[in-house]
Amino acid sequence: MDTKLYPRARFRLSGDCALLVEYGDGIDPAVNEKVRAMTACLRRSALKGVQAVVPAYRSLSVLYDPLATDPETLEGGLLALEADPREAETAGPRVVAIPVCYGGQFGPDLQVVAEHTGLAGDEVVALHSAVEYPIYMIGFTPGFCYLGGLDSRLRTPRRKTPRTELPAGSVGIAESQTGMYPVASPGGWQIIGRTPLRLFAPERETPFLYEAGDRIRFVPIPEAEFVRLQEEEAG
């Protein structure tokens, strides 16, 4: 299988205290797996001066203390870690189940997706909830996860006019991706459902329910279960 991996990592400066490390082109599972492996490797290695590692689709950003290290030293350290197969090993991805109430007031665009794809509403739900989606990256708003693996039969363009505010927990589709809105925010994705879970809770010891490299599995629930779980989340 052809991949879009570069034969060698490419390094770019990103401001005065960050190094961008690129491993390939586009949205590609093999490229993102490389990013995930090197992110885990870096977090284990405790390279001098590294303060944080932020993974994305095809690259990772290494935030560092410029008084403790420099880009050239980091490049050498990264290449040495990559060359050691023991360091490149990663644990299997964690699967996080997310309950979702599809359609109706929770998924106002479910029928839009159904009409665009030529599927029935229940077929959209069945296809959307049948996959374990890898989290390629987190961004846009706190905890917004960009997921890969959407069934090609569900591909639907973004809305021509974005909504000014979507409820927290909204689950949507845009082109070849699906994702969740952890906080109330504007958004142009086609909303097909909503989860009652608090995806982002800054007061928790672990504010997010997932991280890049995990997998998301959507679990359809009825409205009564949504209400029950929402009340539990409210405490």
Q: What is the pLDDT of residue 91?
A: 58
Of 207 and 163, more confident? 163
Looking at the fold, whether 37 and 63 belong to one and the same domain comes out as yes
Strand duo 18-24 + 59-64: pairing:
antiparallel
Q: Is residue 90 part of a domain?
A: no
**Are 60 and 164 within one domain?**
no
* Distance separating alpha carbons of residues 67 and 48, to the nearest angstrom: 10
Q: What proportion of the chain, given as a percentage, has pLDDT over 90?
A: 62
The reported pLDDT for the residue numbered 81 is: 87
- Residue ending a domain, among 48, 83, 118, is 83
DSSP conformation class of 154: G
d(CA 211, CA 62): 17
What residue numbers bound the domain in which 204 lies?
Answer: 95-234
**pLDDT for the residue numbered 1:** 44
| Interior/surface letters 120-153, b for 16+ CB within 10 angstroms, e for the rest | ebeebbebbeebebbbbbbeebebbbbbbebeee
Q: Which amino acid is at 76?
A: G
For residues 169 and 61, state if they share a domain. no
The number of domains in the chain is: 2
CATH number at residue 161: 2.40.100.10
- End-of-domain residue from the set 31, 52, 83: 83
Average pLDDT taken over every residue of the chain = 90
Specify whether 103 is located in the same domain as 42.
no
Q: How confident is the model at residue 65 (pLDDT cuts 50, 70, 90)?
A: very high
Between 99 and 214, the higher pLDDT residue: 99
Distance of CA 98 to the CA centre of its chain: 14
- What integer is the mean pLDDT of 91-120? 94
Residues 144 and 116 in one domain: yes
Give mean pLDDT, residues 189-205. Answer: 94
Q: Would you report the helix, strand and coil content of the chain in percent, each value rounded to 5?
A: 25, 35, 40
104 and 132 share one domain: yes
Do 118 and 214 reside in the same domain of the chain?
yes
How far apart CA 147 and CA 96 sit, in angstroms, is 13
Contact of 57 with 48, CB cutoff 8 Å: no
- In this predicted structure, the answer to whether residue 87 has a pLDDT above a threshold of 70 is no
CA distances from 40 to 37, 155, 159, 232 (A): 5, 31, 36, 33
Output the domain CATH number for residue 59.
3.30.1360.40
pLDDT at 143: 86
113 within domain boundaries? yes
Q: Is the domain of 135 the same as that of 114?
A: yes
